[in-house]
Amino acid sequence: MQRRDFIAFCAAAAAAPVLADDAQPRRYPRTRLVGQNGAPLLAKMVPVNRNLIFHYPYAATPCFLLNLGRAATPAHLKTADAKAYEWNGGVGANRSIVAYSAICAHKLTYPTRDISFISFREEKSAGNKFASVIHCCSEHSQYDPAEGGRVVAGPAPQPLAAILLEHDPGTDEVYAVGTLGGELFNEFFEKYAFRLEMELGRTAREAVNGTSVVQPLENYCRQQVKC
Ligand code: FES
C-alpha cells in the first residue's frame, strides 16, 4: 500500500462508526421494576397473559412485560444481518416472565399515550392466526414471546429485541439489566425525533436508572387497535 493510500485508509478507519453487535447482550443500568404505587413488582404479582408496559433502557423506549403462564425455554435466533444469538428464556419461579422492546422490528410502530397498534394477543382472531403472540397491526408482523420474540408471521426482518431480566429468588423482585437482539433504538429516536421532543422534551433519551414503573397497557394508552 502506498503511503498516501495508507494514510487515507487510517483516516477512514478512524472515522468509521463503531457498530453495536446485536448478537451480544448489551448491559444498561440495572433497574428495579416497580408497580404504579412505587413498590417493587414481585414476580408472583405479574398477572398471566396481560399486556404490561414499562420503559427501558431510555425514558421514551417502551417494553412489554409478560407472564406467559408457562415456562419460556431458551431459543436460538438470528438478527436481520444473520448473526446468531441465544435467548436464555423466561425468569421467575416458573420461568414464565419475559420482556421485549415494544418497538416493531419492521417499521418501528410502538405504543404511544394515544394509541397502540402493537400488543400481546392471547387468542387467535380473524387477522391473527396464531395465539399468544405479539401482533403489530401496521403490517401484521407477529412475534412469539415464548421463543425470544421470534418472527412467526409478517414482514419483520428480525425478532423483537429482548429485554434481559434478572429475578431475585430471595425477594422475588425483577430487574431489567440490558437488551439482546436488534434493539433499533437509534432508528427509533431518528424516526420519531419531532414527536418525542413534543411529548418528552429533552428527557426522551435519558437513560432509565433506578426504577421503572410497570403498568397495564390500557392504563398507559388511551386506545388499543385490535386487528
Ligand atoms: S411496523 Fe409492525 S408490521 Fe410493519
C-beta separation of 49 from 120 below 8 A: yes
* CA-104 nearest atom, ligand 1: 2
Ligand 1 environment, Cβ below 6 A: 104, 106-107, 109, 136, 138-141, 154-156
Distances (CA, A) of 187 to 105, 122, 192: 10, 29, 9
Residues with Cβ within 8 Å of residue 15, at least 6 apart in sequence: none
**Alpha carbon of 10 to ligand 1 centroid (Å):** 40
**Alpha carbon of 4 to ligand 1 centroid (Å):** 47
**Alpha carbon of 13 to ligand 1 centroid (Å):** 35
pTM over the 0.85 mark: yes
d(CA 202, CA 181): 26
43: three-class secondary structure by DSSP: helix
Inform me whether the pLDDT recorded for 67 exceeds 90. yes
Instruction: Map out the domains of the chain as residue ranges.
Output: 22-224
User: Nearest 5°: phi and psi at 159?
Assistant: -60, 160
Question: 22-224 has which CATH code?
Answer: 2.102.10.10
d(CA 181, CA 175): 18
Calculate mean pLDDT across residues 148-158.
Answer: 97
- Whether residue 57 is preceded by a cis peptide bond, meaning omega within 30 degrees of 0, is yes
Quick one: pLDDT at residue 10?
A: 35
Inform me whether the pLDDT recorded for 156 exceeds 50. yes
From 140, 123, 143, 142, select the one nearest 131 (Cα to Cα). 123
pLDDT in tens, 32-57: 999 999 999 999 999 999 999 999 99
**Alpha carbon of 43 to ligand 1 centroid (Å):** 30
pLDDT in tens, 104-126: 999 999 999 999 999 999 887 77
